[in-house]
Structure 1
Amino acid sequence: MPLTFELDPRIGPRLRDGVLSLWTDVSNAGGAVGFVPPVTVDDIRPEWVKHLAAVSEGRTRLLVGYDEEGAVAATAFLTYNTHRLMTHWIWLYTVMVHPRHQGKGYGRELMAAAAGAARSFEGIEAIRLTCRGGTGADRFYASCGYKEVGRVPGAIRVAPGDDRDDIVMLLPLE
């Protein structure tokens, strides 16, 4: 059964708890979403608050995918670029699908929904994202139409002696 997507959902305790749980579960399953396992909801909460502040200020839009039970199953944050010469593209951050739903095509659904949302934003011509090398995420994003446009070797240190490339990818929306 496909996910149901909502752009700019009402932020409340149910959504907060759903996103925090999703983010914790994805991180602990090895997902490259800003943390290295093990993490708890309390570890994630400050980052959620930062994302939420950007949403409340209108700098970021939240896209949520709900499963057939109405639970938060996927998220992506679309952030406007504030540099005056780069306002024609947006950033895509914290792209997550719950581990129990992986392998069902929900990641592709989420990426398509994010692209669809971005196309509805006035003046936006492309989506840019970064991903951690060594995870296979770059291959997944490439399969969704993104092209690698840059790479910073060893920019992400997940542990002493374990440095990963920071891979920059772009999806033109035209």
Structure 2
Amino acid sequence: MPLNFVLDPPVDLQLRDGVLTLWTDVSNAGGAVGFVPPVTPDDIRPEWVRHLTAMSEGRIRLLAGYDEDGTLAATSFIAFNTHRLMTHWVWLYTVMVHPRHQGKGYGRDLLAATESAVRGFDGIEAIRLTCRGGTGVEHFYASCGYKEVGRVPDGIRVADGDDRDDIIMLLPLK
């Protein structure tokens, strides 16, 4: 059963709880979404509040994917670039699919839905994201059309003695 994607879903307690649960579960399953396990929803909450603030200011838009039960199962946060010379591309952040849905093609569906949504934004010519080296996720993004355009060796410190490359990827929309 495919996910139902909604751009800019209503911000309510159900969305808050869904994002906090999803982000916690993805992080604790080893997903590279800004945290290192173990984490709790209380650890995630300050970052969610920062995302909410940016959403309320129109700097970030949320694409939410809901499963057949109406449970939040996937997200991507689309951030507009505020630098006047770079407003022709957006950042993609916090790309997540719940671990119980891994292997169903939902990640590919999420990226396709994100691309479709972004194509509807005026003046946007590309989507840019970064990912943590050592996870292999760059191969997944490449299979979805993203190209590696840069790499910062040891740019991400997961833990003392565990530095990973910060991989920059781009999807041109032209």
Q: What TM-score do you get using the length of structure 1 for normalisation?
A: 1.00
Q: 1:8-157 residue pairs with structure 2 within 5 A? A: 8-157=8-157
1:98-149 per-position Cα deviation (integer Å, ceiling 9, x unaligned):
0000000000000000000100000000000000000011001000000000
Using the alignment, how far apart are the partners of 2:170 and 2:82 within structure 1?
A: 17
The root-mean-square deviation of aligned C-alpha atoms, in Å, is 0.3
Q: For residues 58 and 109 of structure 2, what CA distance do their matches in structure 1 show?
A: 24
Question: For residue 171 of structure 1, what is the aligned residue in structure 2?
Answer: 171
Q: Could you tell me how far 1:2 is from its partner in structure 2?
A: 0.4
| Aligned partner of residue 109 in structure 1, secondary structure | helix
3-state DSSP of counterpart to 1:85: coil
Give the number of aligned pairs: 174
Which blocks of at least 5 consecutive residues in structure 1 are unaligned? none
SS at structure 2 position matched to 1:58: coil
The superposition leaves residues 38-65 of structure 1 with CA deviations (integer Å, 9 ceiling, x where unpaired) of 0000000000000110000000000000
Letter in 2 for 1:39: V
Distance 1:111 1:147 in 2: 14
Query: SS at 2:115's partner residue?
Result: helix
Percentage identity across paired residues of the two chains: 78
Distance 2:169 2:52 in 1: 24
- Other-structure match for 2:158: 158
Aligned equivalents of 1:8 and 1:155: distance in 2?
31
| 3-state DSSP of counterpart to 1:163 | strand
Q: Distance in 1 between matches of 2:50 and 2:63?
A: 16
